[in-house]
Each structure stands twice: as structure tokens, then as C-alpha cells.
Amino acid sequence: MGVAVVDQEWPKARRAVLADAAGVGVAVGALGLSFGALAVVSGFSVWQACALSLLMFSGASQFAVIGVLAAGGGAFTGAATATLLGVRNALYGLNLSSLLRVRGLRRLFGAQLVIDESSAMALVRDDPRQARLAFWATGTSVFVFWNVATLVGAFGAQVLPDPEALGLDVAAPAAFLALLMPRLRDRRLWAVAVAAAATALLTVPVLPAGLPVLAAGLVAVVVALRGRRGRPGTGPARSGPGPGPARSGPGPARPDAGPARPDAGPARPDAGPARPDDSPTDDGPTGADRPEKPGTAPVPATGGDGDR
């Protein structure tokens, strides 16, 4: 009779994942308030702002769209900027496809939930069951809180007499910095960020609205690719002299280890003479001649040791 195996740790792990997912949803929802208000201030209607959050559902891309259009850029430039920022979600999807294994309508809904937060919550977990729950719970939580916050923020901006007095025009740059700073973990990433920022600052006075962002993005890609080629020192390390000495180094070490064996060898002869010492004094040569007849070696002809 089969006995059902119950994972006693699963309820506790499930509650922890759901609590984390709800916390992430609330935190991201606060940024959705800012987006809804900023979208209305930038000239979008309440329903246009809500449509962006519902259909695009990518905070960085949404802020890019309203920023480009508010600055006077065209729809194509805004869409290109948003697409460039959303490429990372496609890379997340490649990593998550083998984990989620969804088909049909669930695959379509799952693709909509592939964002920074849901991907991070899923990929940091070793247990596949917890990882799948973290993805769906975090994605759904952020989706709900983000869209509700967008609606509230958009209506709130309409009610306020002068929303621009609240400094909402700096909300988008502040949101970008909040997303960017945690990712700058090494010098290479800092170099990419500095090069992109410098390009944007230099091209703003000479290019139409929206194009500086694209130029900065292209420069960032070029700098990142060049840094990646130079960073892994595999090429120079393989051809350089480093590995050569490392291989030849053990050679001298072996000869040095060789003399250690002779040192151990004399220890065996030292033990050998101990056997003749047990026998009478001058029987050693006779015993040495007797190896031709192994059977006679243990029995001395004349005993000097009465104990034997």
C-alpha cells in the first residue's frame, strides 16, 4: 500500500514566497503612482496612461515613451527607445522558458509577466517549485498593483490644480536612476553608464528630441561589447607566457621529489640489518649465501640464541 509523501516544508516556503511577492508588488506600485501622474502631466489622458501600463507593462519602457513624447519626439522614436530598453525581457524569457514550461494561453500571459522583479524572484531560487511560484506570484502582484497605482496616479494628477508644482517632471529620471544604480557593480558597467550619459548630454543640444536617448543606447552597446572582448583574459592568457611556466614549474618539483624516495629507501636497509642482529654474529654471510635454498634460511645450523 503506497504512502503519500507530504512535504512539510512546502507550506512554510509557500507563505514566505507569497509574502515576498506581495511586498515587491506594493513597492513597485508606489512607482506606478508616479508614472500615472507624470503621464497625465505629459499630455496623456487617463485611459492612455492605463493602456500603457496594461499592455506594455514595463516600467522603464513606459517612462521612456512618455519622456520622449513629452520632449517633442515622435512616436517612432519613443517606440524605438522603449524597445531598446525592453530587450532584456526577451533574455529573461529565454532563461525562464525551461523553468516554467507553459503552453497556450498561459504562455501568452506568462510572457506579459516577464519583468525584472518576477525574473529575479524566480531565478534566485534553487527549488523549481518555489521558483515557479515566485514568478507567477510576483508577476501577478506587480501587475495588479502597478495598474491600480497608474489609475490612481492619473486621476490624482487631474484633480490637482498644478501637478507640475510637485516636481513630477523629475520622477522619470529619478526612476531610471533607481533602476540603474543597483546594477552598477563593477568598473565595466560604470564605463558603459558614463559613456552613455556623456553621449546624451553632448547630443541633446544638436539632435531632435528622443534621438539623444537612442544615440546613448548605441554607444552603451558598443562600449559594453568592447569591454566584454577585453575583459575575459582568456585570449591573452592562453597565448601569453603565464600558462607556460605553470606547466614547466612542476618539472623541477618532480626531480626534487625524486631524492626523497632514496631517503625513504635507506630506511628499509636499516630495517634489514635488524633481522641479522637477532641471529648469531657471524651467520649473516652464511644466510646471504642461502637464498638459493630459501627453506634453510630460517633455520640456523648452530644456535646462539636459545629462545629459538
Q: What is the pLDDT of residue 168?
A: 64
Query: Buried (b) or exposed (e) across 54-93, using 16+ Cβ within 10 A?
Result: eeebbbbbbbbbbbbbbbebeeebbebbbebbbeebeebe
Hunting for cell 506594455 — which residue is that? Answer: 56
Output the pLDDT for position 141: 96
The model's pTM is 0.60
CA distance 105 to 111: 10
The pLDDT of residue 212: 81
C-alpha cell at 250: 612542476
Residue 280 has a pLDDT of 47
* Residues of the chain where predicted confidence (pLDDT) is lower than 70: 1-7, 161-176, 178-179, 209-210, 228, 230-308
Residue 199 CB partners (closer than 8 Å, separation 6+): 212, 215, 216, 219
Single-letter residue type at 267? A
Cα–chain-centroid distance for residue 192?
A: 18
How open is the CA angle 90-95-97, to the nearest 5 degrees?
85
- State residue 233's pLDDT score: 52
Rounded CA-CA distance 200/215 in Å is: 7
Q: Say what the pLDDT of residue 149 is.
A: 94
- State residue 2's pLDDT score: 46
Q: Are 24 and 138 in contact (CB under 8 A)?
A: yes
- pLDDT value at residue 169: 62
* Cα–Cα distance, 85 to 178 (Å, whole number): 15
